[in-house]
């Protein structure tokens, strides 16, 4: 296998982190909306937890994208 081909395969596998980030962000927001619709008075208290979960899930996806870009251009 050529080293250039291995670089592209590794970058493609590193971008699978973006799929996981997308799924986790959707799961976070769907859970929040389900809980907010069941108990609207508790929704403002859970908003900071929602933002922290979103930030952590998004950071995971960005780290995967960064690794893929480093593999391609580094």
Indicate the domain borders of the chain.
3-73
- E-strand spans in the chain? none
Tell me the pLDDT of the chain averaged across its residues.
91
CATH code for the domain defined by 3-73: 1.20.20.10
Transcribe 43-55 into DSSP letters.
HHHHHHHHHHHHH
With contact defined as beta carbons under 8 Å apart, do 48 and 4 qualify?
A: no
Confidence of residue 33 (pLDDT cuts 50, 70, 90): very high
Q: What percent of the chain has pLDDT over 70?
A: 100
Average pLDDT, integer, range 24-36: 93
């Amino acid at each position: 296998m050529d080293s250039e081909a291995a670089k592209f395969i590794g970058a493609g596998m590193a971008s699978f982190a973006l799929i996981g980030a997308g799924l986790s962000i959707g799961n976070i927001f769907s859970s929040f909306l389900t809980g907010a619709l069941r108990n609207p008075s508790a929704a403002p208290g859970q908003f900071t937890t929602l933002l922290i979960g979103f930030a952590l899930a998004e950071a995971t996806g960005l780290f995967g994208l960064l690794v893929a870009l480093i593999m391609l251009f580094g």
